[in-house]
A and B are shown apart, each in its own frame.
Chain A
Amino acid sequence: MKLTVDGTEHELDIETDMPLLWVLRDELGLTGVKYGCGIAECGACMVHIDGQAVHSCQTLVGDVWGEVTTIHGLAAPGTLHAVQAAWVKHQVAQCGYCQSGQIMQAAALLAQTPDPTDQEIDDAMSMNLCRCGTYPRIRAAVRTAARTLQEGTQ
């Protein structure tokens, strides 16, 4: 089976019903993608498939329809995506375990909705759980990232 992840094509001999999450973590060593619940409730496992945010724990590898982007491939090596830069600036993370998923969700939101309302931010980001309670900082960081991205495109 072929799978393209973060721009690299892999040839894999695995079951088609293995969740993408475990292919990424255990077969490809992309451990920035996190396991939290396995049932599409927490969002820690979020990746993009052709730019769309999906729960990799509930996506079977055989059903992957496009190129996969993980937190490791969101920005070019050695650089930060605007969302990541905003996460650093606001020092969002506590334990940080949910943050790969939060960042992937926020990046997908801003790609589709460059100037989201507070309501749109809350709606999209409510897909992701943070047990440490970093929501106020996530809100602020999403707004900062939206501004940076808009300035960049003007």
Chain B
Amino acid sequence: MSRAGKIARRTFLTGSIATAGGVAFGVYMYRRPSANPLAAGLHEGEAALTPYVLIRPDGVTLITPRADLGQGAAHVQALLIAEELDIELDQVGLDPGPPSAAYYNTALSREALPFASTNESRLAETARSLMDAPIKFLGIQITGGSTTVPDGWQKLRVAGAVARETLKAAASLETGLPVSDLRTRGGAVLLPDGTRLPYTGLAARAAEIDPVTDVTLRDPSAWRLIGKPTMRSDITAKSTGQQLYGIDVTLPGMLFAALRTNPRQGGEMLGYDASRAETMRGVHKIVPVTGGVGVLADNSWRAMRAVEAIRIDWGPAPYRPHQGEHWRALENSFTDKRRDSRLRNDGDVDATLASTTPLEAEYRAPYLAHAPLEPMNATLQIKDGKVDIWTGTQIPRFVQKNVASVVGVKPAQVHVHVTMSGGSFGHRLEDMMVRRAAELAMQADGRPVKLTLSREEDMAHDYPRQIAMARGRGTVSGGHVQAFDLGIAMPSIMRSQMRRLGMPMMGADLQIVAGAWDQPFAIPDYRVSGYRAPDLAPISSWRSVGASTNGFFHESFLDELIHAAGADPLEERLRLCNHAPSRKVLETVGEMSDWGAPLPEGRARGIAFCLSFGTPCAEVVEVTVTESGIRIDKVHVAAEVGRVIDPVNFENQVQGGVIWGLGHAILAETTYDDGMAEQRNFDSFRFMRMYQCPEIIVRGLENDSRVRGIGEPPVPPAAPALANAIFAATGIRLRQMPFVRDMDFV
């Protein structure tokens, strides 16, 4: 494909993660399997068969290194291992395992390359496989980018199969029977006479032999678990109050901490007066930290109350303090100098636009906090040169390294225990709060310290979703879309995020155009340009990242052009679509929603599509105009993921993604005044509640050969599908989120 040829060399090496160290050396390191991190902790009679399966005399533990943030990652990872290991999910324990290079994430780096996921050309494939090497070399163990399933699909099943075959080999040694006579089921090797040898009893023998690595994966027809509804292992605990989250960690002698750092993010603390706080009941110590001050006390509420009583003099924000200036910076970024990428440039856009008066439109999307319901927290104990950390994180290796440097120890002395998280949506890709907690724990004389941020403190320091703007120009001819030219301006998410992690960011930031440049449409004159705005407030990855804004821009503007052409929004998208699995997704959502069937007066449908993280997803939203505002009645969703691993969790993820997309589109924004986020709790940062929640009907398609994730892809089409439905119902085109600025919702 010609598109790939137009990419400048500097972007070739890019991505979200810099490839320092050189590819050749990286490849060399890559070929050597990473050391098994479980090996060090083994006792007599225990075996770590691959980094994912740990067998002890008292039970089998499956290691699920991608963080469970509520998306069911632990369950899905365990299910893939268990499928091949021939063990039932209620027979195993799950553990996130230690931070380790063995748990690198290759799928994440693959999607960071400047090739659309629909591009399967040799060049794209070669680039993707080259990218595996440096990621593994750097040992990047990250949860994100909807990659848990694509990354683990092969790797985890192989891990299960290797463990199974090794256990069979051990049983063969034990019994003298040939391996070909042995079967496995329910956590045991079965002998021809029906005798069961539980895996736990074979661990000692299995530990003595080399793992059997020449394995064949099961044919789909033999699957017991994949594709079937299963019960998530955390459901009962989460329905009875028994599930422990980071915020619930309790240790003997523990101190409770609260913190205030400069709400002008990254600004300094010029001075403070804690004289009142010092005398308050339960206060143990006042501890100044980088950019702020914390309180150690004997109870969270006493700590929070005391920290509120400290008078603090904050320094200025290291960025433009007012929201209006942020918008102006974006408005001024549509220039050649600021152009970051033009990865889509088909036909002759300039000539076509010049030949007639184009349709023009401008769109805006605000900053948005992640605001998972569990406020950020971390528990640390620093004692005898050793650091223990309990926290919910998507980046355990960075936490380990960064806390080591705060405390002044070697990373090997830092032990990260990843806890269950009460949501994340990208918030736990950051670790500033853990570093501050380490500064507090350093002053606790070896006692454990649990830092819990108040909701206000958390939201003041939520590196939000990017602010973004787009300008579209386009033409139609003969009832069809002819030219589509979209420019998108936003600050670089990756640069902001990588800088906090202490990593360089090279090349173009593909997130500026993700979900727009890479869409499977053959519009004759089709161009997407990314403009990198100057750095404004620090920003971070927010569920679906660049596509969360760009899906709205692309699909709203495409809809405007289709209406201008007088065409049908579904028919015209199908006509333009040049990717078979995506066409199928559009056709399916059309069928599901009875697209085209007449609706009563005051009701209408809107459609939108976005291919993000490799997953094509289409949504049809149905709305009713009522006297007191718009009611969202129904959403139909179709998504192509190659394989639906667990239909229950799949449906839950898709429904959650749609609600995430719609809830923020109608209600939420984060704005800055005087350098500070103005919305710091759920009274001003509003989100969808049950009375506004539509019925959401979901279908997963399995036509593609690649297996894809589903955590993020349902988000980008939701907002534009709603805006398009509202246009169909009212003739009013919403071009700025949140929509509640222009319209009431019931």
A residues whose Cβ falls under 8 Å from a Cβ of B = 15, 18-19, 21-22, 25-27, 29-39, 41-42, 44, 70-72, 75, 80, 84, 87-88, 91-100, 103, 121-123, 125-126, 128-139
**8 residue pairs, one from A and one from B, having the closest CB atoms:** A32-B241, A95-B70, A97-B422, A96-B238, A133-B659, A71-B241, A133-B656, A22-B301
Q: Per-residue 0/1 for B220-234: is the Cβ within 8 Å of any A Cβ (1 yes, 0 no)?
A: 000000000001101
Whether, in the assembled complex, B655 has its beta carbon less than 8 Å from a beta carbon of chain A, the answer is yes
When distances are taken between beta carbons in the complex, the residues of chain B under 8 Å from A42 are 373, 682
Q: Are B690 and A138 in contact (CB under 8 A)?
A: yes
Quote the shortest CB–CB distance from B213 to chain A (angstroms). Answer: 36
Q: Are B70 and A94 in contact (CB under 8 A)?
A: yes
B residues whose Cβ falls under 8 Å from a Cβ of A = 69-72, 231-232, 234-245, 247-248, 250, 256, 281, 299-301, 371-375, 420-423, 425, 452, 454-455, 648-649, 652-653, 655-660, 663, 681-683, 687-691, 693, 695-696
Given A80-B240, A87-B239, A91-B231, do A129 and B682 touch, yes or no (CB 8 Å)?
A: yes
Measured CA separation A26–B238 after assembly (Å): 20
Q: Are B373 and A122 in contact (CB under 8 A)?
A: no
Measured CA separation A134–B374 after assembly (Å): 16
- Of the candidates A27, A37, A139, the one having the most CB atoms from chain B within 10 angstroms of its own CB is A37
Given A41-B682, A91-B648, do A131 and B690 touch, yes or no (CB 8 Å)?
A: no
Q: Are A88 and B682 in contact (CB under 8 A)?
A: no
Measured CA separation A88–B71 after assembly (Å): 16
- Of the candidates B241, B243, B653, B683, the one having the most CB atoms from chain A within 10 angstroms of its own CB is B241
Q: Are B301 and A19 in contact (CB under 8 A)?
A: yes
Q: Are B240 and A96 in contact (CB under 8 A)?
A: no
Quote the shortest CB–CB distance from A21 to chain B (angstroms). Answer: 8
Quote the shortest CB–CB distance from A25 to chain B (angstroms). Answer: 7
- Of the candidates B69, B371, B660, B690, the one having the most CB atoms from chain A within 10 angstroms of its own CB is B690
Q: Are B281 and A15 in contact (CB under 8 A)?
A: yes
Given A32-B241, A139-B690, do A94 and B656 touch, yes or no (CB 8 Å)?
A: yes
Q: Are B236 and A88 in contact (CB under 8 A)?
A: yes
Quote the shortest CB–CB distance from A20 to chain B (angstroms). Answer: 10
Quote the shortest CB–CB distance from A142 to chain B (angstroms). Answer: 10
- Of the candidates A80, A94, A129, the one having the most CB atoms from chain B within 10 angstroms of its own CB is A94
The listed residue (B242, B245, B682, B693) touching A135 by CB distance below 8 A is B693
When distances are taken between beta carbons in the complex, the residues of chain A under 8 Å from B455 are 35-39
Q: Are A22 and B240 in contact (CB under 8 A)?
A: no
6 sample A-B contacts, Cβ–Cβ < 8 Å, listed by A number: A26-B256, A34-B374, A80-B236, A95-B423, A128-B690, A136-B655
Measured CA separation A23–B630 after assembly (Å): 42
Quote the shortest CB–CB distance from B337 to chain A (angstroms). Answer: 39
When distances are taken between beta carbons in the complex, the residues of chain A under 8 Å from B70 are 93-97, 132
Given A91-B232, A133-B663, A135-B693, do A26 and B687 touch, yes or no (CB 8 Å)?
A: no
Contacts beyond the supplied A94-B652, A121-B690: 14 A-B pairs with Cβ under 8 Å = A19-B301, A31-B247, A32-B240, A35-B247, A37-B682, A38-B455, A92-B239, A93-B238, A94-B71, A96-B239, A103-B239, A122-B691, A133-B655, A135-B690
When distances are taken between beta carbons in the complex, the residues of chain A under 8 Å from B690 are 121-122, 125-126, 128, 135, 138-139
Given A36-B455, A88-B235, A125-B690, do A134 and B656 touch, yes or no (CB 8 Å)?
A: yes
When distances are taken between beta carbons in the complex, the residues of chain B under 8 Å from A138 are 690
When distances are taken between beta carbons in the complex, the residues of chain B under 8 Å from A25 are 300
Q: Are B250 and A36 in contact (CB under 8 A)?
A: no
Measured CA separation A94–B68 after assembly (Å): 10
Given A91-B231, A133-B659, do A41 and B241 touch, yes or no (CB 8 Å)?
A: no
Chain A residue, CB-CB nearest to B663: A133
When distances are taken between beta carbons in the complex, the residues of chain A under 8 Å from B693 are 133, 135-136, 139
When distances are taken between beta carbons in the complex, the residues of chain A under 8 Å from B234 are 93, 96
Measured CA separation A130–B693 after assembly (Å): 11
Chain A residue, CB-CB nearest to B240: A84
When distances are taken between beta carbons in the complex, the residues of chain B under 8 Å from A18 are 299, 301
Q: Are B239 and A84 in contact (CB under 8 A)?
A: yes
Quote the shortest CB–CB distance from B676 to chain A (angstroms). Answer: 18
Given A22-B299, A35-B247, A95-B372, do A41 and B681 touch, yes or no (CB 8 Å)?
A: yes
Given A131-B425, A135-B659, A135-B693, do A38 and B372 touch, yes or no (CB 8 Å)?
A: no
Measured CA separation A110–B421 after assembly (Å): 30
Chain B residue, CB-CB nearest to A19: B301
When distances are taken between beta carbons in the complex, the residues of chain B under 8 Å from A33 are 241
When distances are taken between beta carbons in the complex, the residues of chain A under 8 Å from B695 are 136
Q: Are B656 and A132 in contact (CB under 8 A)?
A: yes
Q: Are B683 and A39 in contact (CB under 8 A)?
A: yes
When distances are taken between beta carbons in the complex, the residues of chain B under 8 Å from A27 are 299
Quote the shortest CB–CB distance from B115 to chain A (angstroms). Answer: 31
- Of the candidates B658, B659, B660, the one having the most CB atoms from chain A within 10 angstroms of its own CB is B659
The listed residue (A19, A97, A137) touching B423 by CB distance below 8 A is A97
When distances are taken between beta carbons in the complex, the residues of chain B under 8 Å from A132 are 70, 373, 423, 656
Q: Are A36 and B687 in contact (CB under 8 A)?
A: no
Q: Are A34 and B244 in contact (CB under 8 A)?
A: no
When distances are taken between beta carbons in the complex, the residues of chain B under 8 Å from A128 are 689-690
When distances are taken between beta carbons in the complex, the residues of chain A under 8 Å from B682 are 36-37, 39, 41-42, 129
Quote the shortest CB–CB distance from A119 to chain B (angstroms). Answer: 9
Quote the shortest CB–CB distance from B594 to chain A (angstroms). Answer: 20
Measured CA separation A21–B356 after assembly (Å): 65
Q: Are A99 and B659 in contact (CB under 8 A)?
A: no
Q: Are A131 and B372 in contact (CB under 8 A)?
A: yes
When distances are taken between beta carbons in the complex, the residues of chain A under 8 Å from B691 are 122-123, 126
When distances are taken between beta carbons in the complex, the residues of chain A under 8 Å from B242 are 32
Q: Are A34 and B240 in contact (CB under 8 A)?
A: no
Chain A residue, CB-CB nearest to B298: A26
Given A31-B250, A132-B423, A133-B657, do A36 and B373 touch, yes or no (CB 8 Å)?
A: yes
The listed residue (A95, A122, A137) touching B69 by CB distance below 8 A is A95
When distances are taken between beta carbons in the complex, the residues of chain B under 8 Å from A103 are 239
Measured CA separation A132–B711 after assembly (Å): 11
When distances are taken between beta carbons in the complex, the residues of chain A under 8 Å from B454 are 38
- Of the candidates A93, A95, A137, the one having the most CB atoms from chain B within 10 angstroms of its own CB is A95
Given A80-B240, A96-B70, A125-B690, do A41 and B683 touch, yes or no (CB 8 Å)?
A: yes
Chain A residue, CB-CB nearest to B299: A26
The listed residue (B236, B243, B375, B659) touching A35 by CB distance below 8 A is B375
When distances are taken between beta carbons in the complex, the residues of chain A under 8 Å from B655 are 133-137
When distances are taken between beta carbons in the complex, the residues of chain B under 8 Å from A137 are 652, 655
- Of the candidates B425, B663, B693, the one having the most CB atoms from chain A within 10 angstroms of its own CB is B693
Measured CA separation A136–B681 after assembly (Å): 24
Chain B residue, CB-CB nearest to A138: B690
Q: Are A129 and B241 in contact (CB under 8 A)?
A: no
Q: Are A130 and B373 in contact (CB under 8 A)?
A: yes
Q: Are B239 and A99 in contact (CB under 8 A)?
A: yes
Measured CA separation A31–B372 after assembly (Å): 18
Chain B residue, CB-CB nearest to A97: B422
Q: Are A80 and B71 in contact (CB under 8 A)?
A: no
Quote the shortest CB–CB distance from A15 to chain B (angstroms). Answer: 7
When distances are taken between beta carbons in the complex, the residues of chain A under 8 Å from B238 are 93, 96, 99
Measured CA separation A148–B237 after assembly (Å): 21
Measured CA separation A30–B663 after assembly (Å): 31
Q: Are B239 and A22 in contact (CB under 8 A)?
A: no
When distances are taken between beta carbons in the complex, the residues of chain A under 8 Å from B371 are 131
Q: Are B241 and A131 in contact (CB under 8 A)?
A: no
Measured CA separation A97–B231 after assembly (Å): 18
Chain B residue, CB-CB nearest to A130: B373
Q: Are B658 and A95 in contact (CB under 8 A)?
A: no
Measured CA separation A91–B653 after assembly (Å): 12
Quote the shortest CB–CB distance from A7 to chain B (angstroms). Answer: 15
Quote the shortest CB–CB distance from A86 to chain B (angstroms). Answer: 9
When distances are taken between beta carbons in the complex, the residues of chain A under 8 Å from B299 are 18, 22, 26-27
Quote the shortest CB–CB distance from B457 to chain A (angstroms). Answer: 11
Quote the shortest CB–CB distance from A102 to chain B (angstroms). Answer: 10
Measured CA separation A15–B280 after assembly (Å): 12
Q: Are A91 and B423 in contact (CB under 8 A)?
A: no
When distances are taken between beta carbons in the complex, the residues of chain A under 8 Å from B374 are 34, 36, 95, 97
